[in-house]
Amino acid sequence: MGLKVILDQFVKPDKPIVDYRTAITGVTAHDIESATVSVLDIQKELQPYLSNGAILVGHSLNKDMKVLKIDHPKVIDTALVFKFSNARNSRKPSLNDLYKAIFGKEVRKEGVSHNCVHDAAAAIDIALAFIKKPFDTTISPPKEMLEAEKSKLFIHRIPSYVPSDKLTTVLAGEFRSGNFKLDVKPAKSHGGNYCAVVGFDSSKEANQAFENVNGSKERDSYGLPQKLSALKLSSGLSASCYIRKMMED
């Protein structure tokens, strides 16, 4: 089936752009400065193509439709149709992950910016391949993702009285290493426990840090290894929290 590009235009924004993220998007200041059409213009131009039962196909369409300020009753969103085989991972497969898993090749090479036409064509290729001959909608996570997950530890049920700005120092004592990055997730309710993700340079360092934590090893409800640790605070108080691996070795 031949694909024909019917619309490929830059839209003039109604707000200042703080960061073009050119390395990722491929969009430059010159591209936007020379744009003359508005979102309303694009809506009008799209309308004939979205009528008469047309099906809108794309990847993470909710984001595109939000920007375009349109709604459409018939969509195929490949980001929702497929999922990673490790069901605990809430991250949706990227278009590149899907295309490589299904067709054995990438939409774009690492470090190359997005090309909207190539991305749109890739989403249609995936949808048509599945419609023609349905296959398993679960895909194996790429090795890079698995290594990244194994290089992290998850800290949960951290009491609210543990200052988040002191957590790095406290955890460095538990891990016997300060070579990590901490991403604190705020509590969902005032005064409730909070959690954090700890990122190391490698899975080997993450495993060693986990082994260094004092506490008996157990399993969480998903069967992942974790330890109940008693954090020692500079105030003299102690606080218990769970330190868990993100993935099984």
- Residue range 17-54, pLDDT digits in tens: 989 888 888 899 999 998 999 999 999 999 999 888 89
Residue 212 and residue 188 in contact, taking contact as beta carbons nearer than 8 Å: no
Q: Where in the chain is the domain with CATH 3.30.420.10?
A: 22-139
Strands of 238-245's sheet in order across:
181-185, 194-199, 152-158, 238-245, 225-232, 217-219
CATH architecture of 144-245: 2-Layer Sandwich (3.30)
Distances (CA, A) of 117 to 4, 56, 121, 148, 228: 10, 15, 6, 30, 50
| 75: CB partners within 8 A, 6+ apart | 55, 56, 57, 58, 61
Q: What is the mean pLDDT of residues 77-100?
A: 83
Cβ density class 68-87: b for 16+ within 10 Å, e for less:
eeeeeeeebbbbeebbbeee
pLDDT at position 89, please? 55
Higher pLDDT, 108 or 199: 199
Superfamily (CATH) of domain 22-139: Ribonuclease H-like superfamily/Ribonuclease H (3.30.420.10)
Higher pLDDT, 222 or 26: 26
How sure is the predictor about 85, in pLDDT bands with cuts at 50, 70 and 90? confident
How sure is the predictor about 158, in pLDDT bands with cuts at 50, 70 and 90? very high
**Is a pLDDT exceeding 70 seen at residue 90?**
no
Higher pLDDT, 110 or 46: 46
Q: Where in the chain is the domain with CATH 3.30.70.330?
A: 144-245
Q: What is the mean pLDDT of residues 3-27?
A: 89
Q: What is the mean pLDDT of residues 147-155?
A: 92
- pLDDT tens-place string over residues 163-202: 888 899 999 999 999 999 999 998 888 878 999 999 999 9
pLDDT at position 26, please? 86
pTM more than 0.85 = no
Separation of alpha carbons 37 and 217, rounded Å: 60
Question: Per the structure block, which two tokens stand in for 207?
Answer: 């495993």
